[in-house]
Amino acid sequence: MTTGTHGRTSGRTVLVEAGLVVLAVVDALIGLPYSSTGALVSALLAAAVLPLRRRLPWVCAVVVAVGLFWGYALLAAMVVVFSLAVVTGARRRIGVVAALSVFVGNLVATELPQDLDDWVSAVLYGLIFATAPWALGELVVTRRELSRRLAEIDERAAREALERERAVLAREMHDVVSHQVSLIAVQAGALQVTSTDDPTRSAARTIRELSVRTLDELRSMVEVLRTAGGCVREDAPQPGVRDLDGLTAGCGLAVRSSLQVPDDLPAPVQRAVFRAVQEGLTNVRKHAPGAQVAVVVAHDGERTRVEVRNGPATEPAQELPSARHGLLGLRERAALLDGQVDAAPTQDGGFALVVTIPDP
């Protein structure tokens, strides 16, 4: 709730409470010609305690009951009955007691009927004054419960729709992406075996290793998508700082690395560090093939700094599909950890990606 909305709601509540007190005072003054000083004071006191009926419902009920039976506080009693119906449990027994109190109090506050018509009229009005506030309170409670259940139904429907979308996404990733990457791995393995050129065999081996690693991560992602939303699930193993050596060695680039980082960092920080290095190397492969790359990961006791720098490309860049979501996702991941991402071209024609993540 915004400050403006909260202010309007509070102002409206104050006006409602003040209006109820004023109406209850007017109702008490109506019986002034028939009331003693003590009866009038008790009725006015019943009107004055109405703003306390939500925080102290039983204290307020006792004070109003005194005003009802000794003075003339019918309106205050009706307001309290409504509040009891809204804020208390065990409604049936409390409702009977409250309704009987208002019914008897209304008969006491009026002159005893003289004939049958007057008796019927007195009983009818007494029943209305006694049951209408309680019925209105029950209506409010029922409406709140209905709203809560409708919200639960909407939330459940949204969750089920999300689970269906995850299942479809998992199926598509498995059927399409997994198939294509598997073909790449098979073809690269065949090229590695049949080729007689050492650079070609080395490149084929790198392609095959990257494809196999991609398949492993893809299977983990598919498993997460398929089981997300279940009652019990274990997260798939996530890469961390211990996997950085393998990442830099198997990326197919000329990488100079300095990885001075403890392996006991929190799991979210480790995942962010790994994904930062992975994103940096991926961008080098896509936009600066053949460039020299330097990867530095260091921890100074307060924060972890990841730096991926590359020089200018020495080979023509290939046109690869890209949604340009890599750096955006990296910034979002770092922001969740109160970190910062800086990415900009360097003066020598290269590029620098720097990610800083403070310790939790």
Q: What does pLDDT average to over the chain?
A: 76
Q: Whose structure tokens read 């029950």?
A: 138
Tell me which amino acid residue 334 is: A
C-alpha to C-alpha distance for 305 and 300, rounded to whole angstroms? 8
Q: Which of 43-47, 202-206, 271-275 has the lowest mean pLDDT?
A: 43-47
φ, ψ for residue 209, nearest 5 deg: -65, -45
Q: Which band of pLDDT confidence, cut at 50, 70 and 90, is reported for residue 352?
A: very high
Q: Is 108's pLDDT higher than 70?
A: no
CA 205 to chain centre: 46
Q: Is 103's pLDDT higher than 70?
A: no
The pTM (predicted TM-score) of the whole model is: 0.45
DSSP state of 90: -
The pLDDT of residue 155: 87
List alpha helices for 228-290, DSSP H. 244-249, 267-287
Q: 3-state DSSP call for residue 312?
A: coil
Question: What tokens appear for 18 in the block?
Answer: 């003040």
The pLDDT of residue 176: 64
Question: What tokens appear for 43 in the block?
Answer: 């009725």
Please give the full DSSP string across 158-220, using - where no structure is assigned: HHHHHHHHHHHHHHHIIIIIHHHHHHHHHHHHHHHHH---HHHHHHHHHHHHHHHHHHHHHHH
β-strand 340-345 against 351-358: which pairing, if any? antiparallel
Which residues touch 266 (CB under 8 Å, ≥6 apart)?
Answer: 359, 360
Over residues 207-242, the pLDDT tens digits come to: 888 887 787 777 777 776 766 544 444 445 678 888
Contact 90, 45 (CB under 8 A): no
Q: Which band of pLDDT confidence, cut at 50, 70 and 90, is reported for residue 135?
A: confident
Q: Is 6's pLDDT higher than 80?
A: no
What residue ranges define each of the domains in the chain, with the CATH number in brackets? 3-110 (no CATH), 238-312+324-360 (3.30.565.10)
Q: Is 302's pLDDT higher than 80?
A: yes
Q: Which band of pLDDT confidence, cut at 50, 70 and 90, is reported for residue 105?
A: low
- CA dist list (Å): 244 to 63, 256, 327: 74, 12, 19
The pLDDT of residue 232: 41
Over residues 118-132, the pLDDT tens digits come to: 666 666 766 777 777
Q: Is 31's pLDDT higher than 80?
A: no
The pLDDT of residue 174: 65
- CA dist list (Å): 20 to 51, 68, 79: 9, 16, 8
Mean pLDDT is highest, among 29-33, 120-124, 248-252, for 248-252
Contact 334, 340 (CB under 8 A): yes
The pLDDT of residue 230: 47
- Based on C-alpha coordinates, what's the Rg of the chain? 38
The pLDDT of residue 234: 46
Contact 276, 306 (CB under 8 A): yes
φ, ψ for residue 296, nearest 5 deg: -125, 125
Q: Which band of pLDDT confidence, cut at 50, 70 and 90, is reported for residue 306?
A: very high
Over residues 153-173, the pLDDT tens digits come to: 988 888 888 877 777 777 666
Q: Which of 37-41, 102-106, 318-322, 323-327 has the lowest mean pLDDT?
A: 318-322
Q: Is 142's pLDDT higher than 60?
A: yes
Question: What tokens appear for 55 in the block?
Answer: 């925080």
Q: Please report how many Cα atoms fall inside a 13 Å half-sphere around the Cα of residue 242, on the Cβ side.
A: 8
The pLDDT of residue 2: 46
User: How is the chain split among helix, strand and coil, in percent rounded to 5?
Assistant: 70, 10, 20
φ, ψ for residue 89, nearest 5 deg: -95, -165
Q: Is 344's pLDDT higher than 60?
A: yes
